Amino acid sequence: MQAVRQSDLMSSCNQARSHRLGDTSRMGAVEGASRPYVSFEPTDPQVVTALLRLAGVGERDRVVDLGAGDGRIVVAAARDFGARGVGFEINPRLVSMARERARTAGVEDLAQFVQQDLFEADLRAATVVTLFLLPEVNVLLRPKLLAELAPGARIISHTHGMGDWRPEKTRHVRDPAGWYHRLHRWSIPVRALGTDDGR
């Protein structure tokens, strides 16, 4: 039984990666994008809830979703946890969908969406950052995350790691279709004197 579950887990993670690799070789696939474009793949609502719980999201948090897609993570953070949030998304069609999702959920005052390259997003006010990107994109983002986020801020990545920065927690979540999803959590460390980051 355990072997079957592990096999399912590996297959689902590989499937998620293959789906999202499809568009990553296209530079500037959407006008304004300056780096490889990561295709949008919707996250199952149960997985959204699990990742927000893994982050320990509450009313005092400001959640930033980099590559927000249709806005479901930021909207769920506002609707279900009372958190403020901002989603950064380069695709204007998805930004419009996200804003409509926030209006429908009645959380326009808490959930905002900005059409912008995620590498240009201002993260300084964020207490939680969520990612569903690619391993190479996560690694490119890592210096920005460490430089801009305050100590104690949490980062949650769906499926992929952050190079040699090991997560403090990893959780596996099964969606209604039977696929397993791997969620990683990191916290920004206290910066040591004379260093760029405290790891």
Q: Note the pLDDT tens digit of each residue in 82-122.
A: 999 999 999 999 999 999 999 999 999 999 999 999 999 99
What is the C-alpha separation between 106 and 22, in angstroms, rounded? Answer: 34
Give domain 2-187's CATH superfamily: Vaccinia Virus protein VP39 (3.40.50.150)
Q: Which two tokens stand for residue 142?
A: 């890592």
Bigger pLDDT: 35 vs 117: 117
Using 50, 70 and 90 to split pLDDT, how confident is the model at 37?
low
Bigger pLDDT: 72 vs 38: 72
Domain ranges of the chain: 2-187
Does the pLDDT of residue 28 top 60, yes or no?
no
Model pLDDT, residue 36: 59
Model pLDDT, residue 31: 41
Model pLDDT, residue 29: 38
Phi/psi for 78 (5° steps) reads -75, -50
Phi/psi for 65 (5° steps) reads -110, 120
Mean pLDDT across the stretch 154-159? 97
Model pLDDT, residue 6: 42
| Least confidently predicted of 27-36, 42-51, 131-140, 187-196 | 27-36
Model pLDDT, residue 196: 52
What is the C-alpha separation between 142 and 162, in angstroms, rounded? Answer: 7
Model pLDDT, residue 16: 40
